[in-house]
Structure 1
Amino acid sequence: MWVYSGLFISAVSSATLLPGSSEVLLSGLAITENAQLVTLWAIATLGNVLGSCINYWLGINLLRFENAKWFPVSSQQLHQARLQFSRYGIYSLLFAWVPVIGDPLTLFAGVFRVPKRLFIPLVMAGKGLRYAAVIILAVGVEQLF
């Protein structure tokens, strides 16, 4: 049970603006907990999507502070980000798993009020496919040796 809890926490933190690397933990567990691959996939995916939902929530609440002196983004930068996000569309959320750009994507989805009924399935699809690939690669590489 502790193994699954650790994977879930790692997956949640990896999807937020906090540092984390759930892929490494998932790979190791996929090799050692071979019979539970679907469970590992589901826990990692759900945890990572929850982390993205935290970013989304932060994005929704971020604009309350837009006029504060300490706010880290100017109105011009926010406008540029809105243009970029609208140019690539909400389907860019399929790439919320990509390091460096994924976390800000989910944050901006909240800032720009992407409907949850679109946000969650898109993020879940991308992250679910990524974790499936991690498991397949880990098990495949392990079987080679």
Structure 2
Amino acid sequence: MAEWIEYGYWGLFLASFLAATILPFSSEAILSLCVYSGFDISLTIVVASLGNWLGGLTGYYLGYLGKLERIEKWLRIKPDKAIKSKEFLRTKGNAFAFFAFLPFLGDLIPIGLGLLRTNPYWMALFMAAGKVCRYVVWAWLTLQALS
């Protein structure tokens, strides 16, 4: 993990981007190392949030390219239930993007919202808010542990 720090903010950005994909990667550990190494805390939070947010948007776009009909067929979802679920998530589902920072499940949220073709602007806004909140809390916890 320490080798990511050698690349400074670029290493943090790349680690955060990769962590937002389905790759099992911990951007929080890199963020903590940056804070410990004396990097500017505000810039560290911004860089990590931006990288993670762009990684989430990549997942949304990949989901957007998918075919919902195949999912319905493979999972044997009844058409009337699928229509109700799609409409609910299209109108109110963007708020779920806030939780895209969660481990494991969070990587699937943007993909699912893209697959359902939710409003990309609201989804991006909610997802950005969640990712910034997560890194602010993590940086604060790191500072508390160091003091």
Indicate the TM-score class for this superposition, using the shorter chain for normalisation. 0.7 to 0.9
Residue 97 (structure 1) aligns with: 101
Shift of 1:5: 1.0
* Distance (whole Å) between structure 2 residues aligned to residue 65 and residue 19 of structure 1: 28
The one-character-per-residue Cα deviations of 1:87-125 (angstroms, maximum 9, x if unpaired) are: 673211111101111111110110011112101110000
* Alignment partner, residue 16 of structure 1: 21
Q: 1:6 aligns with which of 11, 14, 21?
A: 11
Give the TM-score, by structure 1 length. 0.83
Name the counterpart of 2:85: 83
Aligned to 1:28: 33
Identity of counterpart residues, as a percentage?
26
Assess if the C-alpha contact under 8 Å between 2:64 and 2:115 holds in 1: yes
TM-score normalised over the length of structure 2: 0.82
Q: Deviations over 1:15-39 (max 9, x none)?
A: 01112100011011112125x1111
Give the unaligned 5+ runs of structure 1: none
Q: Which has the higher contact order (CA 8 A, sep 6+)?
A: 1
1:46 is matched with 50
Letter in 2 for 1:91: A
Q: Distance in 2 between matches of 1:8 and 1:129?
A: 17
Gaps of 5+ in 2: 1-5
Q: CA 1:136–1:77 in structure 2 vs 1: closer, same or farther (change >3 Å)? A: farther
What number of residue pairs does the alignment pair up?
139
Deviates more, 1:118-127 or 1:90-99: 90-99
Amino acid at match of 2:77: Q
Amino acid at match of 1:110: G
AA of the residue aligned to 2:88: S
How large is the RMSD of aligned CA atoms in angstroms? 2.9
